[in-house]
Amino acid sequence: MMVRMPPLDAATLLMVIAVIDAVACVVWLALGDVLRIAPRASRRISAHHGLLALSWWPALPASMERLVGLPLDLVAAGFLTAGARALTRNRANARDIVAIVLLGFVAVACTAGDPDRDRARAFSSAIVGGLALMAARDVVVGTGFRLAFTGVLILPFVAFAVVCFWRTATLLGWLPAAYVLASPGTNVPLVLLILIVDVTMATGLIALVIQRLIARVRHLMRRDALTGLLNRRALEEHLARMQARTERGRRNAVLMLDVDHFKRINDELGHAGGDAALKHLSSVLGATLRDADCFGRLGGEEFAILLPDTDLDGAMLVAERLRELLQKQPLAWGDKLWPISASFGVATMQPGDVNGQGALSRADALEHAAQTRGRGRALRPAGGAGFDRLFL
């Protein structure tokens, strides 16, 4: 004899949602505070799930809905939007989110004298729906995913917003009775929809975290650990792309520079002082370069700068400007100022070079020649006016 399973009721489903949100609260808190993955965003999303767990728990008396339940929903939605914004590294602050949540508090509070709680529910649903749309907008603007995948990510936010606005319209009597969405406490399909949306939103936010981790790994793979500049691998990738543009007739140049008397700096200041000198050079020179320029450390005290759309004369002017900046801004170490200079080799990229390595080799040879001729100067290939320019 087959035993029929009792049908699911709304209260049980609400308890399931509350348990899922409670677990998600702990998971996000661990991501942020234990694993240090997007701590600010993780704490906000953890707070969102924690507040929802309290809000959805069926044991909350109906009389506490206006005083506790609806405010919890508003604050939870605010934390969700702020968390999504932080995950997308949107530069905008959260003041607009706080203002909208406060507006929701005021709207709910204005219904305090009304024995019917439908208006309070309607106002709360409208604010929550608006916050969900803001989260969707931040995901669209701030992620680097392809359009199709971004659409999948924002779908649960949009669906949740639609349900919230629909519920607002029905609670205010703007839709016929046949379209009214009953309270989640009695409407099993509505609770199922909320469960699906809750899980899919959480999944989408996890995808954003994974994107952050992948971006961080890629950044670390392309950056020098000491100076934060491009490493040799990243420079060679940019060099190959510039060579392809050179083959199409564009003018591009390469600078090589080596810190003068770096061994002496290391001997006198120690390795910590030598590291400080390299970071100082990176900061001083990097601040004056164009966004299109590529500045990287090849290894040791040797650096390279790729200058797209720059001819030989222009590259020499850049080298001179960098040398003067370095001379005017000595390293402050201990209670003394330590002058730092560098020798430069300047070369242009030529058609036929393999991945631009020819230009890099020519600039490297000229940089070594500049060091043997007294340091603190830049050399350019023979055949042009001003074969070398002393930086005195």
Calculate what percentage of the chain has a pLDDT beyond 90.
46
Calculate what percentage of the chain has a pLDDT beyond 70.
90
Half-sphere exposure of 391 (CA within 13 A, CB side): 27
Cα–Cα dist 225/95, whole Å = 35
Q: Average pLDDT over the chain, rounded to whole?
A: 86
User: Which residue in the block uniquely carries the two structure tokens 């929903």?
Assistant: 73
- Tokens encoding 22: 């409670």
User: Which residue in the block uniquely carries the two structure tokens 């199922």?
Assistant: 192
Cα–Cα dist 283/271, whole Å = 18
- Tokens encoding 328: 């005017």
Cα–Cα dist 186/164, whole Å = 16
Task: Report whether 349 contacts 292 (CB < 8 A).
Answer: no
Q: What are phi and psi of 374, to 5 degrees?
A: 125, -5
Residue 388, pLDDT > 50, answer no
What's the pLDDT tens digit per position in 320-366?
999 889 988 999 988 888 899 999 999 999 998 888 899 999 999 99
Cα–Cα dist 126/124, whole Å = 5
Task: Report whether 269 contacts 338 (CB < 8 A).
Answer: yes
| Cα angle, residue 362 at apex, residues 356 and 363 outer, rounded to 5° | 95
Cα–Cα dist 335/318, whole Å = 31
Q: Which among 18, 83, 28 is positioned nearest to 51, based on CA atoms?
A: 18
CA dist list (Å): 22 to 45, 152, 188, 307: 12, 25, 21, 53
Cα–Cα dist 367/347, whole Å = 10
User: Binning pLDDT at 50, 70 and 90, where does residue 391 land?
Assistant: very low
Provide mean pLDDT across the span 134-155.
Answer: 84
Name the residues annotated as catalytic.
301
What's the pLDDT tens digit per position in 210-258?
877 887 788 788 899 899 999 999 999 999 999 999 999 999 999 999 9
pLDDT of residue 383: 59
Task: Report whether 305 contacts 378 (CB < 8 A).
Answer: no
pLDDT of residue 386: 38
pLDDT of residue 3: 44
What's the pLDDT tens digit per position in 253-302?
999 999 998 889 888 889 899 999 999 999 999 999 998 999 999 989 99
Q: What is the pTM of this model?
A: 0.66
Cα–Cα dist 154/88, whole Å = 13
pLDDT of residue 381: 87
Residue 76, pLDDT > 60, answer yes
Half-sphere exposure of 142 (CA within 13 A, CB side): 24
Provide mean pLDDT across the span 178-186.
Answer: 57
| Residue 242: Cβ within 10 Å count | 23
User: Which residue in the block uniquely carries the two structure tokens 């968390």?
Assistant: 83
Residue 158, pLDDT > 60, answer yes
Amino acid at the residue 99: A
Helix (H, G, I), strand (E, B) or coil at 227: coil
Amino acid at the residue 40: R
pLDDT of residue 148: 81
Q: In what order do the strands lie in the sheet with 252-259?
A: 294-299, 302-308, 252-259, 342-348, 377-379, 388-390
